């Protein structure tokens, strides 16, 4: 399971509390997408660490095609986003989730 | 029950399950009700407390206290009825969040202050007659405490989401 740094993008409007750089992480879904809270969430195990994957607000995540039950527990996914600046926190604000040959882009305008 | 135990119980309760099942707009709508409740509650309280602390003396206190306490009650009920489901959606996420220990004790103190003010002789008297200086001072102290506690509660609540 790999962790790759992608492009160092939008340094001037990075999300506060998150690193500026975009990172790809590949791992296994341990909790599938929930669209209940203020943001969609899922949990992904990467290198034996469980990451909180924070998605867009529920309606936006749903419009991107990523609805509850779409990706089962145990599936391999690659999430792209900005990780929390607090290293111990294991939280990523996520702009896209790749599952098989499907990519769900919840913040396409940030993916550059 | 510990704080963590309560939050986990709340999340797995029927309320939590029901709220999570309501669809992608539900959190936003419940949040809207919460904001409206707080706006009603704090807006009403602010007017009354400033009057009790000496502003707008030409407005009769009894004429102002009735609508403001009425609207504040409605606001509080709206805030509680929306706040509990919002918390229940993902309550375990708030375990260890220090702002919980700011918000909820502040609400407790604010409610205790409401109780003490409403039981005071000064508050009982304001509906029938002009207040004596000592009574005005009593209500001004209660108003200052009220603003302090409610502002603390609202600040703690807002910061909960940013921890």
Mean pLDDT value of segment A67-88: 94
**Cα of A78 to nearest chain B Cα, Å:** 24
Distance CA B99, CA B94 (A): 9
CB-based contact A37 B24, cutoff 8 Å: no
Q: A52 pLDDT band (50/70/90 cuts)?
A: very high
Distance CA A63, CA B5 (A): 35
What ipTM was predicted for this assembly? 0.72
Distance CA B160, CA B94 (A): 8
The residue in chain A having the minimum alpha-carbon distance to the alpha carbon of residue B23 is A36
Q: In A18-101, at which residue ranges do the beta strands (DSSP E only) sit?
A: 23-34, 41-46, 49-54, 76-83, 91-99
Mean pLDDT value of segment A30-54: 94
Q: Name the residue ranges covered by the structural domains of chain B.
A: 3-160
Distance CA B139, CA B150 (A): 16
On chain A, the residues whose CB falls within 8 A of the CB of B161 are: 38
CB-based contact A58 B89, cutoff 8 Å: no
Q: In the prediction, which pLDDT does A13 show?
A: 46
CB-based contact B25 A38, cutoff 8 Å: no
Best to test chain A binding among B10, B22, B24 (most A CBs inside 10 Å): B24
Q: In B49-162, at which residue ranges do the beta strands (DSSP E only) sit?
A: none
CB-based contact B24 A35, cutoff 8 Å: yes
Element spanning B68, H or E: helix B61-89
**Cα of B72 to nearest chain A Cα, Å:** 26
Q: Name the residue ranges covered by the structural domains of chain A.
A: 3-110
Which residues of A touch chain B, with CB atoms under 8 Å apart? 34-38, 41, 57-59, 61-62
Residue B21: exposure state from Cβ atoms within 10 A (0-12, 13-18, ≥19):
exposed
CB-based contact B24 A38, cutoff 8 Å: no
* B50-73 per-position pLDDT tens digit: 999 999 999 999 999 999 999 999
The DSSP bridge partners found for residue A44 are A29, A51
On chain B, the residues whose CB falls within 8 A of the CB of A61 are: 24
The residue in chain B having the minimum alpha-carbon distance to the alpha carbon of residue A56 is B24
On chain A, the residues whose CB falls within 8 A of the CB of B25 are: 58-59
Q: A2 pLDDT band (50/70/90 cuts)?
A: low
Nearest Cα residue to B139 out of B40, B50, B57, B72: B50
Q: Degrees (nearest 5) of the Cα angle A81, A86, A21?
A: 35
Q: What is the CATH number assigned to the segment(s) A3-110?
A: 2.40.50.1010
The answer to whether residue B90 neighbours chain A at the CB level (below 8 Å) is yes
Q: In the prediction, which pLDDT does B133 show?
A: 95
* B97-150 per-position pLDDT tens digit: 999 999 999 999 999 999 999 999 999 999 999 999 999 999 999 999 999 999
Distance CA B142, CA B112 (A): 11
Is residue A18 over pLDDT 70? yes
């Amino acid at each position: 399971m790999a962790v790759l740094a992608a492009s160092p993008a939008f340094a001037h409007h990075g999300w506060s509390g998150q690193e500026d750089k975009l990172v790809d992480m590949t791992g296994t879904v341990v909790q599938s997408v929930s669209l209940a809270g203020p943001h969609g969430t899922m949990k992904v195990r990467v290198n034996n660490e469980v990451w909180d994957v924070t998605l867009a607000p529920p309606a936006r995540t749903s419009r991107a095609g990523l609805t509850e039950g779409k990706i089962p527990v145990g599936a391999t996914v690659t999430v792209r986003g900005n990780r929390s600046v607090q290293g111990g926190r294991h939280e990523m604000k996520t702009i896209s989730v790749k599952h098989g040959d499907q990519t769900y882009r919840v913040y396409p305008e940030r993916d550059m | 029950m510990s704080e963590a135990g309560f939050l986990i119980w709340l999340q797995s309760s029927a309320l939590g399950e029901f709220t999570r099942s309501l669809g992608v707009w539900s959190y936003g709508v419940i949040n809207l009700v919460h904001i409206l409740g707080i706006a009603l509650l704090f807006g009403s309280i602010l007017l009354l407390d400033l009057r009790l602390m000496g502003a707008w003396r030409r407005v009769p206190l009894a004429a102002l206290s009735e609508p403001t306490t009425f609207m504040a009650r409605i606001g509080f009920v709206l805030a509680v009825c929306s706040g509990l489901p919002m918390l229940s959606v993902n309550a375990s996420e708030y375990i260890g969040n220090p702002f919980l220990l700011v918000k909820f004790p502040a609400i407790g103190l604010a409610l205790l202050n409401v109780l003490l003010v409403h039981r005071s002789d000064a508050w009982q008297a304001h509906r029938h007659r002009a207040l004596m200086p000592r009574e005005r001072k009593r209500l001004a102290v209660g108003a200052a405490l009220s603003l302090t506690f409610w502002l603390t509660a609202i600040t703690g609540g807002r910061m909960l989401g940013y921890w």
